[in-house]
Amino acid sequence: MALARLRADLGARVRSADAIERRPVRVSSGVAALDAVLGGGLARGAMVEATGSGRASLALQAAAAATGRGALVAWVDAAYGFDARSAVRAGVDCTRLLLAQARGLGEALRAADVVLAGGGFELLVLDRVGAHGRVPDSAWARLARRAEQADACLLVLGERAEAGTFAQVTLRLGHRNVELGPSLLGQITACAEIARAKRRTPLMEAAAGTEIALAPLDLLRRGS
Amino acid sequence: MIACLWAPSLPLQALLRAEPELRGQAVAILEQGQVTAMTFAAARQEVRPGMTATAALAVCPHLTLRTPAREIVRAAAAALADVAYGFSPHVEAAEPGWIYFDASGLGRLHETAQDLQKAVLAAAQRVGLSVRVGIGSGKFAAKLRARWREVVVGVLPVEALEPSPEAASRLARWGVRKVADLAALAPPAVGRRLGEEGARLARRARAAIGGQTRGDDPLCPAPAPLRFEEAIELDWALYDVESLAFVVRGLLERLVARLHCRALAASALEVRLALDPRGMHEIQVPLRAPTRQVATMTTLVRLAVAAQPPDRGVTGIAIVARPAPPATDQLSLFDPVPPPPETLQATVARVEAIVGPGHVGSPQVLDSHRPDAQRLIPFAPPRTAAATAPAGPHKVVALRWLPPTEELDALAKVQGARVTAHAGPWRLSADWWREPFERDYYEVRTVSGAIYLVCRNLERWQVVGMFD
């Protein structure tokens, strides 16, 4: 009787013991189609690189999915480009989002290293778009190792793919089908392509060379 | 039932507690030109109380002679009291090095007096003190057992009752040599011959032997002090943060041991640095949640000192901890376990040390029509999951702010061949009562496919953001 009432109160949150996973090994990207191709989402304990238009939107959706589950997300911004209004509109729980605004690439790399070393964050977004300079291979290796130790997903946003073999997956994104409204830009569709992957799954093989259509994205209305 | 804690040679113990590296060495305390206490290693070398410094060094050339600072002796005495407050709220701090506490009612936790004794000894050892413990029916009985390490008080000499020399000599003439001998005499009869002191000695002897509280001194408990301070004076000035952090760690370890005795944690730290040759530099280190993690607090103090460095060398350090009950969390069975708040605070402090103060935190949108109205607030994630299920990600195109240097200097550049589509303008105005803000915003798409947010302020065009 009491168990039935508890089940009714908690609903779907009550699961049998064997149905509870020990720990999610993937972080949802917030886009079902991309999660399906990646085998469940962005890999934890690894680095994922995203380039092209739509990378920040994808990162915000991943952050929204993670913070929605109660996990903590860190965002290291190398060029003061983070827009809090976009994050709120994307559904990010900003109380669980740690934003570090670095003054350049060097500071951003050090801040990312410290965040990963401290642990406790499921997703770290390293946004290096707009920051000048090149990341040395030793820094990529260190960050990849830190991500592995912290069991966190390190999502690197860049203008070009630079992490090379240190990234488990490299995504190339782009905007397609920009719909023009009467006075506003209406909807655009973001597409993703797996440019490189260390271990290709059958789904990745099937999707190789083709673009994965992400959901249509609404442009943020100014002043709203 | 009263328990008595005695820390013999408290100044020597305070010195060894503050400088643990001296343990095992030949160390002696020098007060007013004479040796007053020494370690076993020094005693083995024939160093004795009352020796002058020259005489002590003559018999033990490697002897370390020190006069401990008042702060460290005071901290050791406070630590001794904290040990007692860990067992009972009724504690009396008598003369230096002597503490009494009410041990009645502790039978449920410690079945026998020996168990209680062991627990007190272990607690004292945790705060870096070596004590003797005596448990008796009254204060004096407990003191006798602590001082003389005898379970049977009756076999102790009468001198254990601390008689005056005159009373001691008369008792000796009577043939009263042991406490039991004096207890056998009637206090009024002794009083008639030795006066008030004789009656008191006889009552004490009876109380100590007979297990009576009547006749013993009453316990005068004092409220538990809530000041936790540890300090150290340095032999030479320190100038770098890392050296300071090394000393700070030792102070914090001692503070945490004391807080642990009282089942408390530190909710804030106040660091006072004594400067060379004079002056004080104070730094406040707030803690996000009450903690007892020494490593985290050391990191936070180190970062705080690095952020507000003293302008001269440091010759002394004092740390005051604000006590608070330790934080307890009711975690969810179904949601991710958040990291401890103090760990998060240390991480945020480390990041802040890299990117500068005010550049780390949770983003917050301000209530304004300015599109860039946002700020950072201190990062304090909720410890529990939201009561309502999250709405899920809403798919919007993120805006990325661009540095203000990226300007379009002419309207032609926006309307030129590079732009394939545009929308707008939307006029946004805000803050008319303070700093009037009025801009026309456009969304433009260039031939490369990138979509920008462009604004016009009077005749000045500027690319302010990019939809990414």
Q: Per residue in A159-193, pLDDT tens? A: 999 888 899 999 988 877 666 554 445 667 778 88
B121 in Cβ contact with B86 (< 8 Å)? no
Q: How confident is the model at residue A6, as a pLDDT?
A: 67
For residue B204, the SS3 value is helix
CA distances for B74 relative to A31, B96, B227, B228, angstroms: 63, 9, 12, 11
Q: Is the pLDDT of residue A213 over 70?
A: no
If you measure CA to CA, which chain B residue comes closest to A63? B393
* Contacts of residue A37, Cβ cutoff 8 Å, sequence gap at least 6: A194, A201, A203, A204, A207, A212
Residues of B in contact with A55 (CB under 8 A): 468
If you measure CA to CA, which chain B residue comes closest to A182? B423
Q: Which of B332, B355, B444 has the highest number of chain A CBs within 10 A, making it the mutation to test binding with A?
A: B355
Instruction: Report the predicted TM-score, pTM, of the whole model to 2 decimal places.
Output: 0.77
Q: How confident is the model at residue B211, as a pLDDT?
A: 61
B298 to chain A, closest Cα gap in Å: 15
Residues of B in contact with A67 (CB under 8 A): 390
Q: Read off the tokens for B413.
A: 């550049």
Label residue A224 by pLDDT band (50, 70, 90).
very low
Residues of B in contact with A178 (CB under 8 A): 421, 445, 449, 451
Are the Cβ atoms of B467 and A53 closer than 8 angstroms?
yes
Residues of A in contact with B443 (CB under 8 A): 184-185, 219
Are the Cβ atoms of A220 and B397 closer than 8 angstroms?
yes
Which ranges constitute the DSSP H helices of B232-293?
241-261
B244 to chain A, closest Cα gap in Å: 22
Residues of B in contact with A96 (CB under 8 A): 362, 381-382
What b/e sequence results for A96-120 when a residue is b if at least 16 CB atoms lie within 10 Å of its CB, and e otherwise?
A: bbbbbbbeebebbbbbbbbbbebbb
- With tokens 């002191």, the residue in question is B197
From the list A55, A97, A118, which residue is nearest B350 (CB)? A118
Q: Read off the tokens for B328.
A: 């307890």
Q: Read off the tokens for B329.
A: 């969390």
B41 to chain A, closest Cα gap in Å: 45
Are the Cβ atoms of A218 and B395 closer than 8 angstroms?
yes
Compute the distance between CA of residue A127 and CA of residue A91 in angstroms, rounded to an integer.
Answer: 19
For residue B443, the SS3 value is strand
Q: Determine whether B432 is exposed, middle or buried from the number of CB atoms within 10 Å of its CB (0-12, 13-18, 19+).
A: exposed
If you measure CA to CA, which chain B residue comes closest to A55? B468
Residues in chain A: 224
B161 in Cβ contact with B187 (< 8 Å)? no
For residue B328, the SS3 value is coil
If you measure CA to CA, which chain A residue comes closest to B440? A222
B261 to chain A, closest Cα gap in Å: 29
A166 to chain B, closest Cα gap in Å: 24
Are the Cβ atoms of B399 and A220 closer than 8 angstroms?
yes
From the list B346, B359, B445, which residue is nearest A100 (CB)? B359
Task: Give the whole-number percent of chain A exceeding pLDDT 70.
Answer: 77
Q: Read off the tokens for A104.
A: 């350049």
Report which of A19, A120, A77, A130 is spatially closest to residue B406, judged by C-alpha positions: A130
Q: How confident is the model at residue B450, as a pLDDT?
A: 78
Instruction: List, as one string, the DSSP characters of A23-48.
Output: --SEE--S-HHHHHHHTSSEETTEEE
From the list B360, B428, B443, which residue is nearest A223 (CB)? B428
Which is more confident, A51 or B432?
A: A51
Q: How confident is the model at residue B417, as a pLDDT?
A: 46
Per-residue model confidence as pLDDT tens for chain B (468 residues): 889 999 999 999 999 999 999 999 999 999 989 999 999 999 999 999 999 999 999 999 999 999 998 999 999 999 999 999 999 999 998 888 999 999 988 888 888 888 999 999 999 999 999 999 988 888 888 888 888 876 677 788 888 888 898 888 988 898 988 888 888 888 888 888 888 888 888 888 887 776 665 666 788 888 888 899 999 988 889 999 999 999 999 999 999 999 999 999 999 999 999 998 889 999 999 888 899 999 999 999 999 999 999 999 999 999 999 999 987 777 777 777 778 888 898 999 999 999 998 999 999 999 888 888 899 999 988 876 654 545 555 677 888 998 765 555 543 454 454 677 777 788 888 888 887 888 888 888 777 777 888 888 777 778 888 888
Are the Cβ atoms of A64 and B380 closer than 8 angstroms?
no
Residues of A in contact with B364 (CB under 8 A): 84, 94
Q: Read off the tokens for A86.
A: 């976009």
B327 to chain A, closest Cα gap in Å: 18
State the Cα angle at B461 between B457 and B462, rounded to 5°.
100
- With tokens 């700020």, the residue in question is B375
Compute the distance between CA of residue B332 and CA of residue B17 in angstroms, rounded to an integer.
Answer: 42
If you measure CA to CA, which chain B residue comes closest to A32? B393
Compute the distance between CA of residue B163 and CA of residue B400 in angstroms, rounded to an integer.
Answer: 86
Q: How confident is the model at residue A187, as a pLDDT?
A: 66
Which is more confident, B404 or A69?
A: A69
Are the Cβ atoms of B338 and A72 closer than 8 angstroms?
yes
A123 in Cβ contact with A75 (< 8 Å)? no
Are the Cβ atoms of B363 and A97 closer than 8 angstroms?
yes
B313 to chain A, closest Cα gap in Å: 29
Compute the distance between CA of residue B415 and CA of residue B84 in angstroms, rounded to an integer.
Answer: 82
A70: alpha, beta or left? (left if phi > 0; alpha if psi -120 to 50): left
Q: Determine whether A27 is exposed, middle or buried from the number of CB atoms within 10 Å of its CB (0-12, 13-18, 19+).
A: buried
A147 in Cβ contact with A98 (< 8 Å)? no
Residues of B in contact with A89 (CB under 8 A): 394, 396
- A207-213, long-range: CB within 8 Å, 24+ apart, which pairs? A207/A37, A211/A174, A211/A176, A212/A33, A212/A34, A212/A37, A213/A33, A213/A176, A213/A189
A22 to chain B, closest Cα gap in Å: 11
B355 to chain A, closest Cα gap in Å: 5
A183 to chain B, closest Cα gap in Å: 6
Residues of B in contact with A80 (CB under 8 A): 401, 403
Are the Cβ atoms of B379 and A98 closer than 8 angstroms?
yes
Amino acid making up residue A192: A
B253 in Cβ contact with B294 (< 8 Å)? yes
Compute the distance between CA of residue B450 and CA of residue B468 in angstroms, rounded to an integer.
Answer: 8
- With tokens 């000599």, the residue in question is B169
From the list B364, B401, B421, which residue is nearest A83 (CB)? B401
For residue B39, the SS3 value is coil
If you measure CA to CA, which chain B residue comes closest to A176? B449
From the list A120, A129, A216, which residue is nearest B339 (CB)? A120
Are the Cβ atoms of B360 and A98 closer than 8 angstroms?
yes
pLDDT in tens, A75-106: 999 999 999 989 998 889 999 999 999 999 99
Query: How many helices and strands (H and E) does chain B possess?
Result: 13, 19
Compute the distance between CA of residue B446 and CA of residue B419 in angstroms, rounded to an integer.
Answer: 4
Q: Which of A7, A13, A95 has the highest number of chain B CBs within 10 A, making it the mutation to test binding with B?
A: A95
CB atoms inside a 10 Å sphere around CB B336: 18
Are the Cβ atoms of B403 and A93 closer than 8 angstroms?
no
State the Cα angle at B352 between B331 and A69, rounded to 5°.
30
Strand duo B64-66 + B98-102: pairing: unpaired
CB atoms inside a 10 Å sphere around CB A61: 28
Are the Cβ atoms of A84 and B363 closer than 8 angstroms?
yes
Q: How confident is the model at residue A29, as a pLDDT?
A: 85
Residues in chain B: 468
Are the Cβ atoms of A222 and B449 closer than 8 angstroms?
no
Mean pLDDT over residues A121-138, rounded? 92
Chain centroid to Cα B301, Å, comes to 12
Are the Cβ atoms of B393 and A60 closer than 8 angstroms?
yes
* Contacts of residue A101, Cβ cutoff 8 Å, sequence gap at least 6: A77, A80, A82, B355, B359, B360, B376
- With tokens 């209530």, the residue in question is B367
Residues of A in contact with B360 (CB under 8 A): 98-101
Is this prediction's ipTM beyond 0.90?
Answer: no
Report which of A203, A133, A148, A199 is spatially closest to residue A170, judged by C-alpha positions: A199
A148 to chain B, closest Cα gap in Å: 17
Question: What residues pair up with A51 in beta bridges, in sequence order?
Answer: A158, A172
